[in-house]
Structure formats: C-alpha cells, structure tokens
Amino acid sequence: MTRPVIISCAVTGGADNAHMNPAIPVTPEQIASEVLAARGAGAAIAHIHVRNPATGKPSRDLALYREVVERVRGAGSDVIINLTTGPGARFVPDDGDPARGGPGTSMATPEARVEHVLELRPEVCSLDVATMNFGPHAMVNVPRHIEAMARMIRDAGVKPELEVFDLGHVALAARMIGEGLFEAPPLLQLCLGIPGGAPATTEAMLTMRNTLPPGCNWSAFGISRHQFPMVAQAVVLGGQVRVGLEDNLYLSRGVLAPGNGALVERAARIIEELGAEVATPAQARTILGLAAR
C-alpha cells in the first residue's frame, strides 16, 4: 500500500492582500465555499482565517468564524476544520516610544486569541510557537502565552497544530511536548520561506525534520513560488503538505490561481506522481489521532 499524505489547504490567510487576487475569499460565504472546493479537490484539512466582509482586511470577529464553521458543517462536509489562533501577536513599535505599540499593532490576550476555538470546538487549531521578525513587523508569542493558550486548547479537546518557523521554534515546541503540554501524537507545521524565518529549501526542511521530537506528525509548506517544490520535498521526506491562497496566489509563474481547488489539485498530482496517495479525512483523523466521525 502507498503512504497516504494529508493535504491541508489554507484558504484565505491573515494578510491584507485581498486586492492582489480576486479569488481570495473574503465573506464567510466565500470562505466556506472555498473550504468545500478544497475538500472536493482532495484536501483533508481546511485552515481558516476570517476577514472583514466590507474591507477584506483580517479579522478576529467570533461571529464571522461561527458563520464559516456553521456553513461548512451545515453542508455535511467531512473536512477537518483547523481554525487559526495566529492573529493577536503582531507588534509594531511606536516611532516615538518603542515600548508602546504603534499603528498596525494587534496584540491580544491568550484568552481573546482562543475565544473562537473554545466556542466552536474545531478538531484542530493552529498555535504559533514563534517570536520573530515577520516581514516588516514582529510576531510575538512568549512562552507563558503559548502555554496558556495550549492549556485552554487542550481543555477544549482540540488538537493544536504547532507552527514552527525556524530551528529555535522546533526546540521550544520539543520542550513543551516533553513537559506533557500536548496530547500524543503532537502535530507540527514547518513554515518555510517567510521573511525572518527559515528559507524554503531542501536543507532547511531536512534539518528541521531531523530535529523534531520522536513520535510527532509533521507537515510543511513554502510560500509563493516555493509552494509546490516544498510539497514535493515534504512528500519525499515523509511529511504531510499544505497549500492554499494564504501562502501563494499563483498557480504558475504569472498565472493567478483561480481558487484554492486548483492549488489542491496540483498538490494532489505531485503526491500521486511521487508514488503516494492523497489521504481522505478519515485517514487523516487516524494519522493525527483524532476521533473518528
């Protein structure tokens, strides 16, 4: 039997980039529709952010998350829902007083960042294990905030997907895993190519994979033009994969992706050409240690 590989699709993301590709979903209806399209193309997991429907800008509005989740669940889809907890960690120092947050800062309490997870109870949610430069701003996740969020997520019966952007983040995640903060088997996402983090290269992915704690599941993605090469590399190295409009707006050089489904379809072809098979949601639940549905 061939190895089943999980495709996760990050359908919209938290960047202010809705103007860059008309396929980026903005409203809850559009986001839910893209989740279902990704599932139809082969994705077992849908990673979900929400946006202000009027502006297209990122949002943490619980009502928007609720509508997306209700639409997906109401459609009877078997897709695994993965809600982000990333928003609420952005810090931009004020020019006059760097100790204060300036325009663009969005820092929030751990409780506020997981509010939607505690109410909506997805099967999976992301949990950033990173303080780092993230493009022009800083992403701040100090250990006590990560630990507080992890405990609330665990008590809600949700599996955290630990987002790691560099080797130090893997080491921090490994320490927390060793302290019993996460249910077995832990799940880590290797995030590659983000300015300020590890590059999207074979060497970086291999090094990060080789430092993962034993017994964990892992997935990886690269942003922009690195998306599909990193899909192939993750399959070869034994991991799961992630694609989607959050990470990459193009299907090929100069060709905007018409939607998430097209990105998932291309990832599925790569997986199959490399001799693996695309995992169903049921297979993904078994691999990740989630309850069967």
The sign one gets for the Cα dihedral 145, 150, 155, 159 is positive
Question: Do 261 and 37 touch, CB atoms closer than 8 A?
Answer: yes
Percentage with pLDDT > 70 across the chain: 100
- 210: domain CATH number is 3.20.20.70
pLDDT of residue 135: 84
> Cβ neighbours of residue 104 under 8 Å, at least 6 residues apart?
90, 92, 137
Whether 58 maps to a domain, the answer reads yes
Whether 164 maps to a domain, the answer reads yes
Query: Is residue 134 predicted with pLDDT exceeding 80?
Result: yes
Task: Give the separation between CA 279 and CA 234, rounded to whole angstroms.
Answer: 14
Whether 36 maps to a domain, the answer reads yes
Whether 293 maps to a domain, the answer reads no
pLDDT of residue 78: 98
Task: Give the separation between CA 271 and CA 291, rounded to whole angstroms.
Answer: 25
Domain that holds residue 281: 4-288
Question: Do 49 and 58 touch, CB atoms closer than 8 A?
Answer: yes
Task: Give the separation between CA 275 and CA 107, rounded to whole angstroms.
Answer: 44
What average pLDDT is seen over the chain? 97
Place of tokens 């979903």: 25
Q: What is the pLDDT of residues 35-54, one digit of tens each?
A: 999 999 999 999 999 999 99
Summarize the confidence of residues 74-85 as an average pLDDT.
98
pLDDT of residue 1: 66
| Nearest to 172, CA basis, from 214, 130, 139, 207 | 130
Task: Tell me the whole-structure pTM to 2 decimals.
Answer: 0.97
pLDDT of residue 185: 96
Percentage with pLDDT > 90 across the chain: 98
Q: What is the pLDDT of residues 154-209, one digit of tens each?
A: 999 999 999 999 999 999 999 999 999 999 999 999 999 999 999 999 999 999 99
pLDDT of residue 293: 81
Angle, vertex CA 7, rays to CA 272 and CA 159, nearest 5: 145
Summarize the confidence of residues 26-41 as an average pLDDT.
98
Q: Number of folded domains in the chain?
A: 1
